[in-house]
């Protein structure tokens, strides 16, 4: 939950605090994790489609 005002102009003028950079790192690792999960999900979909085709044959 973001407690600061979500006005982008204010955010630009504020110096980056240690908390902000921690938050950035956490978001970055979350993003990497999500990308990994997305890739796995795509691979699962491909496998399911292949096995579905085999069942039809």
Joined together, the tokens standing for residue 5 give 């005002």
Inter-residue contact 25 to 32 (CB < 8 Å)? no
Joined together, the tokens standing for residue 2 give 């973001």
Structure confidence at residue 12 (pLDDT)? 59
Joined together, the tokens standing for residue 7 give 């006005």
Sequence ranges of the domains in the chain: 18-56
pTM over 0.75: no
The DSSP annotation for 3-16 comes to -S---HHHHHHSPP
Structure confidence at residue 21 (pLDDT)? 87
- In order along its 57 residues, the chain shows pLDDT tens digits of 555 555 655 555 666 677 788 999 999 999 999 999 999 999 999 999 999 999 998
CA distances from 46 to 10, 49, 57 (A): 45, 5, 17
């Amino acid at each position: 939950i973001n407690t600061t005002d979500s006005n982008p102009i204010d955010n630009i003028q504020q110096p980056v605090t240690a908390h902000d950079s921690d938050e950035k790192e956490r978001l970055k690792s979350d993003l990497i994790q999500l990308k990994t999960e997305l890739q796995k999900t795509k691979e699962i979909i491909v496998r399911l489609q292949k096995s579905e085709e085999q069942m039809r044959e």
